Structure 1
């Protein structure tokens, strides 16, 4: 975990320096960028373990960038933004971010949130299996793809993959909101609950579920979710 690479994208030099210092003191490798263009060019050379992304960027729409990162890269994405409104937080999480930290922030909290994301990833890696089959579907967690019985592939984001893996590791058991929050990290509250609802909705769409009567991912109102598929890990 301590060899993990964290990239920082923020146009404020002071913020970049604060984050670089605290992360390096905590044992992480870091790279920092002031412009999205330089940041995205670096992604072609290597994929970091965690990306810290500010939303207010001078050369691109931060939310659009977060969405691309979530869909195209295997890195966890944490938004660090001065936009403190609940709707901004919800939108960021809906678009695929794994966590959302508002400015001004406590540097120690940033380190704690990054470690929580990496622990989640380490638990997944420790399971050993990267492919699961269920009800005519195959989930490829190494490639972030769902494959149907005809070989048609649909991409899912890092955040959606964490929720799917949680379901597939505990089939036919109720998973409460509290269990999801504990397993996936992030701050509890309205924005977390909303983000989970959106991720589950998107997974249902990708699994071609009937939204009014889903067969695989059932909502147990007031309690949580239950995954009803028959799962085999490879």
Structure 2
């Protein structure tokens, strides 16, 4: 049974989510502020499959907690943000969150996002190559890791890894925003949604592809993005 840790300062919301998610076969741990969240995270982080962070908390904020979680782990993170505040969403993604959901939301919508993240992080085809290699980097689709030419791990969130994996599986193809969002988030992006752009900018930074003319992930104006590096793949 997958274990989820949720921090929210509203007791009614916590109780509702716990009841709903447990009915859908999840084990749920709850925290009402940042202090209790960090204590629960420290105790259970090796068992957790996902954490859900409310942005507004009485003793801290979800951004600080997101940063701390990402410092310790690559566990998937969903941020709960104000419905009209794009800044919250962008900041959360820049700090390493994997997805966000705007308030007000229904437990059913949150469940769908949770399932989508678990599906993306766990669904690897048995017949697909394990390793993808490009300009000194190696992506391991089983370990869900990326290493550079020196063998050092590249710090990527689960959502970053999923996006990069989709790129290396389709090198040289122009991939539009709709396709990329559907493949990594399970939904389309609205015309004002900058989350994909933020994610790609962050990934370029992680891969040292930050020049005025990026060499790995190129922007095709009006069309989308293309992964332009040569990619080789193998099962071993």
| TM-score, normalised with respect to structure 2 | 0.85
Partner of 1:16: 14
Q: What is the CA–CA distance in structure 1 between the aligned matches of 2:132 and 2:28, rounded to whole Å?
A: 33
Partner of 2:50: 50
Partner of 1:31: 29
Q: What is the CA–CA distance in structure 2 between the aligned matches of 1:111 and 1:145, rounded to whole Å?
A: 26
Partner of 1:188: 189
Contact 1:141 1:161 in 2 (8 A): no
1:142-161 alignment runs, 5 A limit? 146-161=146-161
Q: What is the CA–CA distance in structure 1 between the aligned matches of 2:91 and 2:223, rounded to whole Å?
A: 24
User: Cα offset for 1:78?
Assistant: 0.8
Partner of 1:74: 74
Partner of 2:232: 231
User: Cα offset for 1:175?
Assistant: 1.7
1:83-232 alignment runs, 5 A limit? 84-124=84-124, 131-140=131-140, 146-185=146-185, 186=187, 188-190=189-191, 192=193, 194-229=194-229, 230-232=231-233
Moved more, 67-76 or 180-189: 67-76
Q: What is the CA–CA distance in structure 2 between the aligned matches of 1:27 and 1:7, rounded to whole Å?
A: 14
User: Cα offset for 1:211?
Assistant: 2.5
Gaps of 5+ in 1: none
| TM-score, normalised with respect to structure 1 | 0.85
User: Cα offset for 1:55?
Assistant: 1.0
Q: What is the CA–CA distance in structure 1 between the aligned matches of 2:55 and 2:211, rounded to whole Å?
A: 32
Number of residue equivalences: 231
Moved more, 12-21 or 167-176: 167-176
Q: What is the CA–CA distance in structure 1 between the aligned matches of 2:71 and 2:157, rounded to whole Å?
A: 4
Structure 2 counterpart SS, 1:155: coil
Structure 1 counterpart SS, 2:149: coil
RMSD: 2.5
Q: What is the CA–CA distance in structure 2 between the aligned matches of 1:136 and 1:96, rounded to whole Å?
A: 24
Q: What is the CA–CA distance in structure 1 between the aligned matches of 2:160 and 2:29, rounded to whole Å?
A: 26
Q: What is the CA–CA distance in structure 1 between the aligned matches of 2:106 and 2:78, rounded to whole Å?
A: 15
CA deviations 1:108-131 (Å, max 9, x no partner) are 111111111112112247677665
Structure 1 pair 4/127, CA: closer, same or farther in 2 (3 Å)? farther
Contact 1:173 1:227 in 2 (8 A): yes
User: Cα offset for 1:37?
Assistant: 2.7
